[in-house]
Structure 1
Amino acid sequence: MGSMTMKLLLLCLSIGVISVVHGEDPYLFFTWNVTYGTISPLGVPQQGILINGEFPGPNINSTTNNNIVINVFNNLDEPLMFTWNGIQQKKNSWQDGTPGTMCPIPPGQNYTYHFQVKDQIGSYFYYPITAMHRAGGAFGGLRINSRLLIPVPYADPEDDYTVLIGDWYTKSHSSLRKQLDMGRSMGRPDGVLINGKNAKGDGTDEPLFNMTPGKTYKFRVCNVGLKNSLNFRIQGHTMKLVEMEGSHVVQNIYESLDVHLGQCFSALVTADKEPMDYYMVADTRFTKTMLTGLGIIRYTNGKGPASPELPSPPVGLAWSLNQARSFRWNLTASAARPNPQGSYHYGAINITRTIKLVNSARKVDGKLRYAINGVSHIDTETPLKYAQYFGVADKVFKYDIIKDEPSAEAEDKITLAPNVVNQTYRDFVEIIFENHEKSIQSWHLDGFAFFPTAIEFGRWAPEKRRNYNLLDAISRHTVHVYPGSWAAIMLTFDNAGMWNLRSAQPERAYLGQQLYLSVENVARSLRDEYMLLDQTPLCGIVKGLPQPPPYGP
């Protein structure tokens, strides 16, 4: 590399701007300094986690196939790791940012994440997955715009806004973690935030966003919360839904939208009302006591404060289920498409395996744990992927300690162990999530987009497949399951690596409601998976071991 090119790269690394590397897709460089800082989003001072002094963290604005390079300096007093919610990390679970695939960044040190947003568009977010750091902040939006040569099925909006909604606790992340470690639930949240704030509604609030009369805007809304599903709406305005988790959708009009934990959507909103302030409203759903978060949208020539009369929230599970059933994939839209061999005809592919997963909660030795099919996952000092790569997996974990069809006893007894399911590369699989609890569940799968083909009340049985949507289910990465209900998804495991399937509720994931799917690159070929970089820090029992032989072509 010439001296001029090296200087350019160093400059980009220092200021976090775009640079084009010849012969490759464009690069985006960022430097993040992660620190503690005092924040008071609900009026109570508490220890927050900031990125470059910001809460929430900075937005990542990228385009399909961009290479993202983020140099993270951990200035906390404990290990730190970021995960990229919905970014599929093609052939690269090494950068997925989960304890099963990477070593955390030690205090006082830095690590550079490098991944490509390959063949994706849409609205996503990032957050710290270690401990309960997400309850302190350090989350932010991550958008992937379509390349200019690929048409988008709507006119360019006047502006593009990221809206991060989520419930929030006034207790610090460390206090919440201690509570979980002692075997107690985190309890109820204290409020709801929109972009880290909750408007007071007394006329002194500054707007989060501005709109010019007659113009149309894109709002990217993500539920980055900790506990609850939320309903989002904009006072006096309707929303035209255009995208969900990387897929263009049939453009229906909604007055409000349920956004479950971990989910994101994009909607178009036109400034066609009387010029004044309007509230964005986010309410908790399916809770005994409703919590409400408010944010201000201001017309540029606005002449008055927002009306205190808020739009009424929807009521009941049936309303939410019917809305979820109205979401359909826009099959005529051009876009970067994940899982191309399954994108159009997934309903015609033969199922090679059915895995049924049942969530449960129970005390083990007096402490609360959450489980999948009777196993509550525990993280290991050696990342699972590293143990597999270095040939010492048998010293760290056992494969397939849960069955594809859980026994009745699985809900009555919980075992603590690393939970790793061995999955054959490129198989087409059906996964059933069955929720026997009284609270709504939300699930996220790293590394893949899948097709949620059904969400129904009751218990699943093979004959339920007659009700599957095998035509235009939306390709996405989260699925929610109502109390006493089940959901079915289908996907091709065409991305080699070690991939995390977890509850989107951080409390549940922290206390064991997660597992890893090992989609092993048996051929050890670079066509299927990237290798671990030589300079990657190691931890656990693989530290100091020689690198395995290189992959073949």
Structure 2
Amino acid sequence: MATTVRVAAAGVLLLLVLAALARAEDPYLFFEWKVTYGTKTLLGGVPQKVILINGEFPGPRINCSSNNNIVVNVFNQLDQPLLFTWNGMQHRKNSWMDGMPGTQCPIAPNTNFTYKWQPKDQIGTFFYFPSMGMQRAAGGYGAISVVSRLLIPVPFDQPPPESDHTVLIGDWYTKDHEVMARLLDAGRTIGRPAGVLINGKGGTQDAAAAAAEPPMFTFEAGKTYRFRVCNTGIKASLNFRIQGHDLRLVEMDGSHTVQDTYDSLDVHVGHCFSVLVDADQPPGDYYLVASTRFIHDARSASAIVRYAGSSTPPSPNVPEPPAGWAWSLNQWRSFRWNLTASAARPNPQGSYHYGGINITRTIKLMVSRGHIEGKLRYGFNGVSHKDADTPLKLAEYFNVTDGVFTYNQMGDVPPAVNGPLRVIPNVITAEFRTFIEIIFENPEKSMDSLHLDGYSFFAVGSKKTEFQVSSSIVFTATASRMGPGKWSPEQRKTYNLLDAVSRHTIQVYPRSWSAIMLTFDNAGMWNIRSNIWDRYYLGEQVYMSIISPARSLRDEYNMPDIALRCGKVVGLPLPPSYAPAR
């Protein structure tokens, strides 16, 4: 009898342990960042002020797994207010941690704030950067790598890559970021970038000089390496390539892709790709190159990839970038979602049949440009956004929007007659859990790149095109997501409703359009913005307010106790809390 009791007690204890484990939170990762200015000489021998994190530029890489709890304690030791945004992180139910001026009060100089967020059911390659004013032009950015949880297979892990490298490429200006802001405020332009950076190093346009530098990466012959490549710049699309090596695309902006092979990849501002590179060339040194696209007086930077033990210098024949818009557009048309690969959960990416969902609303956002009192402004549909003294999310939460902003001052379609731009806080609403189509039209002569916080979307549309993806592979793609000229409803007949890649950023070519589809199922206040940062600074952005009618914690978190207050909400009592899910 005693033995039976002991066995039963052991069984109860086991059940209690399993129940406790089931209730346990996902692992926590803690970071402490001291954000300061420092002096760096990056291009042309010109010393300049750069934003450093713990003395580093770029900042520390955040390595985590899906659903980890990320806690970042930011100490602002600048002489300006500061915010960080986490480009591509969906922050499910939690726009409080989005780090945009419309969602959060800035961190004042000589104070600190602790961000807490999860890469909820996400995997892939992302980055963070400061979002106040023109601070993004001063650095302060770094990589975020989110790997799959254990036991969830990835489509390229047999064998796993030997190493996982981050490559942050971006254009760079030698002008101080405050000078750039004053130029824009005075109605002038910031001009063209002075050059290109690779992992915060100025590189060089002179290949021989690059060859004299220590290698940035080392290969062991016969191994495979993962490169996570993000364009962290503010203006220029870049072409990325490694001399003599193919790039096997495996992931972009958090989605596994069909693994096609390319000689080079165009990486637009705000975009991130992961590629696998086989060390299958004769041992030696090779150039890794990033060069600007679509701008006059092109800039490039080179770094060295060295095979272990090699003393053979790189070939002087540095690979040239491709030419023209058509090449870039056709390459984009070749990208496809890997429908059979697991995402952050065990179910395959293709289990979500977005093409079978009825569109409930179409929002057409046309880029607007004009001058107001001599100052150039950008916007959407005749409205140029300006930030309010009270963050929009806080004003909404405390129900004090009067005098801060008015909803839906911008229509779902551009005005029939172009008039002067209105400069106001731009907030539009969307019904919770509706499936919406958004059309971006860019009538400008230059490239645009649009990002939506809090969501991934499907870049849709299809048009057969024959495209050469490498020196030996040509195939017919059925995955165009954009087109020249103006969009019309007839274009829906060409949409790719099967395997468009799910991502958070989309480029829009000059005088062209792009179409996306998504379900607005993430309650909060979310920013749609241009990644071309002078356009963003001058108003090309809008906030989407998505409110859950249930006011349930199932759909959105309450404002955190640690949230900063400013503007009209200082001293106000908290509104009623959202109810627990039933």
* Counterpart in the other structure of 2:533: 506
- Deviation of 1:337 (Å): 6.0
Is 1:463 the equivalent of 2:463? Answer: no
Find the residue that maps to 1:347 and give its secondary structure.
helix
- Deviation of 1:339 (Å): 12
Is 1:192 the equivalent of 2:196? Answer: yes
* Counterpart in the other structure of 1:479: 506
Is 1:395 the equivalent of 2:399? Answer: no
Q: In 1, Cα distance between the equivalents of 2:495 and 2:424? A: 34
CA contact (8 A) 1:199 1:296 kept: no
- Which of 162, 170, 177 is the aligned partner of 2:174? 170
CA contact (8 A) 2:339 2:349 kept: no
- Deviation of 1:444 (Å): 0.2
- Deviation of 1:535 (Å): 2.9
* Counterpart in the other structure of 1:286: 294
RMSD after superposition: 1.7
- Deviation of 1:161 (Å): 0.3
| Pair 485,300 (structure 1): closer, same or farther in 2 beyond 3 Å | same
Is 1:488 the equivalent of 2:515? Answer: yes
Q: Which runs of 5+ in 2 are unaligned?
A: 1-20, 461-480
* Counterpart in the other structure of 2:464: none
| Pair 153,359 (structure 1): closer, same or farther in 2 beyond 3 Å | same
CA contact (8 A) 1:342 1:492 kept: no
Kindly provide the CA deviation profile for residues 75-113 of structure 1, in whole angstroms up to 9, marking residues without a partner as x: 000100000000000000000000110001000000000
Kindly provide the CA deviation profile for residues 140-170 of structure 1, in whole angstroms up to 9, marking residues without a partner as x: 0001001121001012100000000000001
* Counterpart in the other structure of 1:68: 70
- Which of 47, 50, 53 is the aligned partner of 2:49? 47
Q: In 2, Cα distance between the equivalents of 1:520 and 1:187? A: 40
- Deviation of 1:499 (Å): 0.2
1:247-326 pair list within 5 angstroms: 247-326=255-334
Find the residue that maps to 1:393 and give its secondary structure.
coil
User: Scaled by the length of structure 2, what TM-score is found?
Assistant: 0.90
CA contact (8 A) 2:221 2:280 kept: yes
* Counterpart in the other structure of 1:429: 436
Q: In 1, Cα distance between the equivalents of 2:530 and 2:348? A: 26
Q: In 2, Cα distance between the equivalents of 1:189 and 1:296? A: 23
- Which of 216, 224, 244 is the aligned partner of 2:224? 216
* Counterpart in the other structure of 1:92: 94
CA contact (8 A) 2:85 2:130 kept: yes
Range that drifts further, 50-59 or 308-317: 308-317
Q: Partner amino acid for 1:39?
A: K
Q: Partner amino acid for 1:171?
A: K
Q: Partner amino acid for 1:489?
A: I
Q: In 1, Cα distance between the equivalents of 2:550 and 2:67? A: 26
CA contact (8 A) 2:82 2:107 kept: yes
- Deviation of 1:21 (Å): 12
CA contact (8 A) 2:350 2:499 kept: no
- Which of 231, 235, 238 is the aligned partner of 2:243? 235
Is 1:448 the equivalent of 2:455? Answer: yes
Q: Partner amino acid for 2:338?
A: N
CA contact (8 A) 1:199 1:205 kept: no
Find the residue that maps to 1:409 and give its secondary structure.
coil
Range that drifts further, 279-288 or 246-255: 279-288
- Deviation of 1:129 (Å): 0.3
Q: In 1, Cα distance between the equivalents of 2:483 and 2:347? A: 25
* Counterpart in the other structure of 1:125: 127
CA contact (8 A) 2:124 2:251 kept: yes
1:525-544 pair list within 5 angstroms: 525-544=552-571
Q: Partner amino acid for 1:77?
A: D
Find the residue that maps to 1:333 and give its secondary structure.
coil
| Pair 52,242 (structure 1): closer, same or farther in 2 beyond 3 Å | same
Range that drifts further, 190-199 or 466-475: 190-199
| Pair 496,61 (structure 1): closer, same or farther in 2 beyond 3 Å | same
Q: Partner amino acid for 2:558?
A: M
Q: In 1, Cα distance between the equivalents of 2:77 and 2:171? A: 26
CA contact (8 A) 1:374 1:415 kept: yes
CA contact (8 A) 1:457 1:485 kept: yes
Q: In 2, Cα distance between the equivalents of 1:141 and 1:343? A: 29
Structure whose alpha-carbon radius of gyration is higher: 2
Range that drifts further, 204-213 or 458-467: 204-213
| Pair 342,239 (structure 1): closer, same or farther in 2 beyond 3 Å | closer
Is 1:26 the equivalent of 2:27? Answer: yes
Is 1:183 the equivalent of 2:183? Answer: no
Find the residue that maps to 1:370 and give its secondary structure.
strand
- Deviation of 1:516 (Å): 0.1
| Pair 518,182 (structure 1): closer, same or farther in 2 beyond 3 Å | same
* Counterpart in the other structure of 2:14: none
* Counterpart in the other structure of 1:359: 367
